Amino acid sequence: MGITKVSLSCQIRDVVSNVITWNPVRDGHDQLICYIDLSSVDQNTKTISPNKSIVAREAPSRARQLVQTGDILVSTVRPNLNGVAMVNSSLNGATASTGFCVLRPDKEKLDGSYLFHWVKSSEFISDMIRKATGASYPAVSDRIVLESKIPIPPIAEQKRIAAILDKAEELRSLRRKALAELDAIVQSIFLEMFGDPVRNPKGWECKSIKQIGRAVTGNTPSRSQPELYGDAIEWIKSDNINTPHSYLTKASEGLSQLGKEISRIVPKCSILVTCIAGSPDCIGNAAIADREVAFNQQINALVPELGDFRFLYAQILVNKCLVQEASTSSMKGMVNKSRFEEIQLIFPKIELQENFGKAFDKIESLKATQRESLDQLDALFSSLQHRAFQGEL
């Protein structure tokens, strides 16, 4: 039975223990250490990626904090992205970047799972965003994290709340896993029907992108002319492509009718591909346009004139190296339009491409159902989380 209101709160620093730091360059010599940097944390799943081993004497200056199982890592940069994760047993003894505020719960006062749910809550995230400094690279200090308030009911109540939220999170995780498995099925069907498009073991005819359709590079209307921005058309950025979705997500920014007239626009069924990115891994990410859109210069689009757009999209999906290998040597992580146009794609008979397209549509329909269910679970979880930390659960 829940309490009616969580009236007691304290600073996080009052319910966590100190973390040991060390200098691996000075003290670790040739020892291999597991290093957790900011990029190790998946901001969506709130998990830490597989171990990144480095030689201690080559460790970056930020590699300082010794973590143990159950520690909570809170990224102090870009708090709006909520880069948080719990250290699992496989990472016990790893070294974490000083870009994290490491929270080690005092087990007599604070349940670790309860704390983990708190740092994922909208209340905590909003507090960090409000206190962040730096316009282009917003960040908070360890002190700000440690001095922030956390509601503290009795430890038994914390465990009860955490158990409820854990169960709700488990349901969301299962739904995300089902979506990932559907994505894997799309790739499996493609490979079964056509083989690896790079090795081309089935000997399909190949065509360059410029033979298949029209390549278009996006642009950015002048920011000094605010009248170019508005709601006449969506203006797509790589963030709308670098997602698990097969179709473009909704753009956060749009162009006015005037901006539309000077922008690069492609029609429905075009394939947009990230061709300039800070991370080379993002090169080759692709998504299908299901409406007319404008887009920026980090993106090249293929407007198909031959073939099935779903087949062409899937070919890039299963093997991003088709695009990554076209990256210019002059700038890491860039595929210009001329190189993009020369990329070779396998091109089986149209009937086979369309058969794949039909299977693709069926899977997308199943994914839409799963996403709707996930959205409902997300809304339920958000409600439970809010009620839990208001003492109303």
Sign of CA dihedral 80, 83, 86, 92: negative
pLDDT confidence band for 6 (50 / 70 / 90): very low
Q: How many CA atoms lie within 13 A of 306 on its CB side?
A: 14
Collect all residues with Cβ–Cβ distance below 8 Å to 141 and sequence separation of at least 6: 76
Q: For 45-94, what is each residue's pLDDT tens digit?
A: 899 987 789 999 999 999 999 999 999 999 999 999 999 999 999 999 99
pLDDT at 392: 79
Closest CA to 72 of 33, 51, 41: 41
pTM of the model as a whole: 0.72
- The CA distances from residue 309 to 194, 269, 284, in Å, are 15, 6, 16
Q: Is the pLDDT of residue 4 over 70?
A: no
77 strand-pairing partners: 139
pLDDT (average), residues 233-241? 95
| Amino acid 349: pLDDT | 96
Instruction: Give me the chain's average pLDDT, please.
Output: 92
| Per-residue pLDDT at 44 | 83
Query: In this structure, what DSSP letter does residue 93 have?
Result: T
Average pLDDT, integer, range 225-249: 94
What's the pLDDT at 327?
81
CA nearest 323: which of 310, 312, 307, 308? 312
State how far Cα 307 lies from the chain centre. Answer: 31
- How far apart, in Å, do the first and last CA atoms of the chain sit? 8
Question: Tokens at residue 78, please?
Answer: 């870009």
Render pLDDT for 106-117 as a digit per residue (tens, 0 to 9). 999 999 999 999
**What domains appear along the chain, each with residue ranges and CATH number?**
9-152 (3.90.220.20), 153-201+349-393 (1.10.287.1120), 205-347 (3.90.220.20)
Q: How far apart are CA 352 and CA 371, in angstroms?
A: 28
Q: Which two tokens stand for residue 93?
A: 């003894």
SS3 242: coil
User: What pLDDT score was predicted for residue 253?
Assistant: 95
Query: pLDDT grade, residue 2 (50/70/90)?
Result: very low
pLDDT tens per residue across span 306-338? 999 999 999 999 988 889 888 875 455 789 999
Where does residue 372 rank: exposed (0-12), middle (13-18), buried (19+ CB within 10 A)? exposed
Write out pLDDT tens, residues 250-295: 999 999 999 999 999 999 999 999 999 877 788 999 999 999 999 9
333-389: per-residue pLDDT in tens? 789 999 999 999 999 999 999 999 999 999 999 999 999 999 999 898 889 888 989
* pLDDT 10s digits, 179-201: 889 989 999 999 999 999 999 99
16-26 average pLDDT score: 96
Residue 329: the pLDDT is: 55
